[in-house]
Structure 1
């Protein structure tokens, strides 16, 4: 079994790569997260870094917002890089993997929380890449592993899950398309 922090950090870095490629004039574009524009999704990703670090330190996710109310003074990219550094620091000790963390989906071992956040960072990297037409930045091989986990842990019937039902796509579609589809995103309608 691999350390789930490895995938969480890799997914956070992938999201950061895409985030830094977002042109400022793209902030009002729609995203596969139907309720959010690119600006909203950027604000969510920065907020998620704070929440991920916070739960590793014993905090509750509801203590912090899920989306920033405004762009940080230093800009989204700088705030995100700082947030990811905080995530790495908060999750540095191996004991966090066996401690109970207060995840939005409920209390769970830190290892499970890290695996879920790997999926969140990776999926939002896809959301942003699609919204700004930069899917060339995505690591399809890495996303294949994320998809494999999502297929095991996110049921097709989803009461209580924050995802729409799966969207049908061809089995030979790119991995990022299949991942997005499994999590209820219809990339054709973006």
Structure 2
């Protein structure tokens, strides 16, 4: 993944707020429903989103992200609190401007810190789209947020190569009416057309 000089942290803050609102909108009967991400139902997708934030904190702190499971567990009425607590811990590390250009290590490589935040931003928006689509909520984040993230990811994550060490599928052609969040999901390899609300 190539990086840009953009500071993605404000975008990631907004994305986490958007995701928290989506989690708050999940009805109790929906936690076992499938999602566009075939590995996860609604509950495990939320647990993965929380895990992603915690792993990002450890990457920035020089810890081992493998110590955090891919899906964390919480009572269903505690998910919003769990996300916000993980986000607070994340920002204790990543509020330092120097982190953007500090080399950090993750299972998929060593790169400047801003790239780690970009990966987390993409995860939040794409999986946020998944969560919204699965639960019948509006699936577009704020257009300014999603457009900015899409522009960054189109530069940072090339169309090729994909697969192997680049953990994204081929770009999916967006439908004509797709918004920026859906187009970001498509750029990340997510087929979305069958999940439109």
**TM-score, with normalisation over the residues of structure 2?**
0.86
Counterpart for residue 190 of structure 2: 185
Shift of 1:30: 1.4
SS at match of 1:135: coil
- Cα distance in 1 between the residues matched to 2:140 and 2:178: 17
Runs of 4+ aligned residues of structure 1 deviating over 6 Å after TM superposition are none
1:173 to 174, 178, 181: 178
- Tell me: CA distance 1:128–1:136, structure 2 relative to 1, closer, same or farther (3 Å): closer
- Aligned runs of 1:76-155 on 2, under 5 Å? 76-135=79-138, 138-155=141-158
What 5-or-longer segments of structure 1 have no aligned partner?
Answer: none
2:59 to 55, 59, 78: 55
Shift of 1:134: 0.9
Query: 1:9 touches 1:88 (CA, 8 Å); kept in 2?
Result: no
**TM-score, with normalisation over the residues of structure 1?**
0.89
Matched, 1:10 2:11: no
- Cα distance in 2 between the residues matched to 1:2 and 1:154: 14
- Tell me: CA distance 1:167–1:91, structure 2 relative to 1, closer, same or farther (3 Å): same
Shift of 1:33: 0.9
CA RMSD of aligned residues (A): 2.0
Paired residue total: 189
Name whichever of 26-35 and 96-105 sits farther off: 96-105
- Tell me: CA distance 1:110–1:127, structure 2 relative to 1, closer, same or farther (3 Å): same
Shift of 1:35: 1.3
